[in-house]
Amino acid sequence: MTKIGTTALDVFPLCLGGNVFGWTADEAQSFAVLDAYAAAGGNFVDTADVYSAWVPGHSGGESETILGRWMAARGNRDRIVVATKVGMLAGLTGLSPKTIRAAAEASLRRLRTDRIDLYYAHRDDPGTPLEETLAAFDALVREGKVRHVAASNYAAPRLAEALSISRRSGLASFVALQPNYNLVHRDEYEGDLAALCAREGLACFPYYALASGFLSGKYRPGAKVESARAGGASKHLDAKGVRVLAALDAVAAGRGTAVSTVALAWLLDRPAVVAPIASARTPEQLAELLPAVSLRLTADEMRRLSEASA
């Protein structure tokens, strides 16, 4: 287990992504994955109110609802660190105090709990003053409905400003950042954001840790994969992507492990990264991800992967 920044929250080094719950995994499949994750020692699940509003006939909240039912059925709420988000669901977009309050209350009902362990601003809202957003989050923390707050998809200057305002005003401060970060998408995080996280002691939880499945190794030149995520993964199938897959193949073969395991292990060795976020539709898919938490890549392996993805 690893601490989230300076908080008392202890989390498993692989965060289970809940974006597939109610989308590519129905409730029974989601329960099976959650059971397998918990059995392996996992305790950190990431979801959002907007999951899975993109599915025809869905309105959002489906993932939270499934997670809430699972925790109620298993009686394990106190053992699970629940992360969810606000700001991107239709009708509750943005980060105004009214939106944050309404969204948090709705998430709590769906999750069947009295508190959210880590509550993210899903993306920055330039239309709402940071002071108002942070005060709204702070009110939820003071009421005990949220334990800690965090940021997702924030640029370094805005994140730095938010941290400064919280410190100056005595408000609950962001303790983590969730950026789009993986072997084929590095520039967004590496640099100012990574330096800021390291300097401020923020935990980094990369989403798209496997680049929509591309870094699982299933997507190759000429290969056809039947998956709802195929479009997002296939966009990485360029010269750089092929180069990264070749490096992953070599390291994975040498270690006798899966390509996805190596891709996650690379992330776990990057600055400020506490736990990559990865999802699985089946326990079998999850089984390929779990070994990443104990795989320590050598300096040569890290260099080989970093050079291929540069």
Q: List active site positions.
A: 51
- Give the DSSP letter string of 123-145: S--TTS-HHHHHHHHHHHHHTTS
192 φ, ψ (degrees, to nearest 5): -65, -40
CA neighbor of 126 nearest in space, from 153, 91, 108:
153
- Say which amino acid occupies 282: T
Task: Give the whole-angstrom CA distance, residue 211 versus residue 236.
Answer: 8
CA neighbor of 230 nearest in space, from 212, 254, 207, 246:
212
End-to-end CA distance of the chain: 30
Helix/strand/coil for 149: strand
Alpha carbon of residue 44 to chain centroid: 10
The DSSP element (H or E) to which 163 belongs, if any, is helix 156-169
